[in-house]
Structure 1
Amino acid sequence: MPVVVAAGGAILLGVVGGLMTPIGSWYANLRKPRLQPPNWLFGPAWTVILGLAAWSAAAAWEAATSDAARMSVVILFATNALFHLLWSPLFFKLRRPDWALIEVVFLWASLVALVVGLWPISPFAAKLILPYLAWVSFAAWLNWAIVRLNAPFR
């Protein structure tokens, strides 16, 4: 059952994130850094990352030896999901990369908290979050570069 819940959560995050990420003319006209990946790469990257996060959640849940540890797993992943869901609407719907740059700090911190919080429960589950942390670190740099190249916003 934890696998089904974790997979469902990852699918929900992916679908909602995708719906909140319209790649229209506004985004296409932004100046972007040279290291900007092609648009087609983001969907597959997020699919792999969220799949690993779901695996991590299920592994951590199974490894948890107490109700308190399971509650920690839920809180850590729920906090991350909240910050995950906030970034795209700020950047794409509101067209405020500057606000998204502030928010990405909280998303990044939620991933560090996941790695640190999961480690005592399951080092394996914590390691599965590392690609997500690496991708968000890179995405934060991209966000910063877009703000630097295009500011001010509204």
Structure 2
Amino acid sequence: MKPTIIIPVIVATVAALCVAALGATVTDLGPWYQGLAKPAWNPPDVVFPMGWTLIYALITVAGITAWRAARTAAQAEWVIGLFALNGFLNISWSILFFRFQRPDWAFYEVIALWLSIVAMIVFCGRFSKSAAALLVPYLVWVGFAAALNWSVVQLNAPFG
């Protein structure tokens, strides 16, 4: 296999695994989280790891697809940059919500996360419709998470 084919696969897979592992590490479903009032439409806790596993797989495939479809080195660098920014925002949300126990701050951060997904879809869609399409479930998932986050803020504020 040529390095130009395998390198994007390795990099995207390792990056997705690192983001997933860091996010899982800072996610604490202990007494503080269990004590939060949540809306009636909050899914059972078991749904989230299953959902995130699927989402991370789609993000990985989207990143590989977009990187390979990039027509120039500059486009490939933008793909890497946008996905890296998104990974940072993804982990930051978990830190704000679970470690700092600030769902109010996390809500504002999740807006930035959602917008970063929109940016990835728009940018990647210029040269890879399939990469953009693979990111749509992530956008929907984070939109749902943002609505859930807002409900938690409304039901439990003030924080800090």
TM-score by length of 1: 0.98
2:124 paired with 1:118: yes
- Corresponding residue of 1:92: 98
What is the CA-CA distance between 1:82 and the residue it aligns to?
1.2
Q: How many residues align?
A: 154
Counterpart residue number, 2:23: 17
Aligned counterparts of 2:71 and 2:123: Cα–Cα separation in 1:
14
Runs of 5+ unmatched residues, structure 1: none
SS at match of 1:37: coil
Q: CA deviation at 1:4?
A: 1.2
Partner of 1:64: 70
Offset of residue 48 of structure 1: 0.5
Partners of 2:18 and 2:88 in 1: CA distance: 12
Please tell me the root mean square deviation across aligned C-alpha atoms, in Å.
0.7
CA offsets 1:93-120 (integer angstroms, 9 cap, x no match): 0100000011001000000001001001
What is the percent sequence identity of the aligned residues?
45
Cα distance in 2 for partners of 1:97, 1:37 equals 17
Q: CA deviation at 1:71?
A: 1.1
Q: CA deviation at 1:75?
A: 1.4
Q: What's the TM-score, normalizing by structure 2?
A: 0.94
- Corresponding residue for residue 3 of structure 2: none
> Do residues 150 (structure 1) and 144 (structure 2) align?
no
Unaligned ranges ≥5, structure 2: 1-6
Q: CA deviation at 1:68?
A: 1.2
Contact 1:21 1:92 (8 Å CA) reproduced: yes
TM-aligned CA deviation for residue 17 of structure 1: 0.4
| Residue 139 (str. 1) matches residue 141 (str. 2) | no
Residue aligning to 2:42: 36
Counterpart CA distance in 1 for 2:117 and 2:52 is: 15
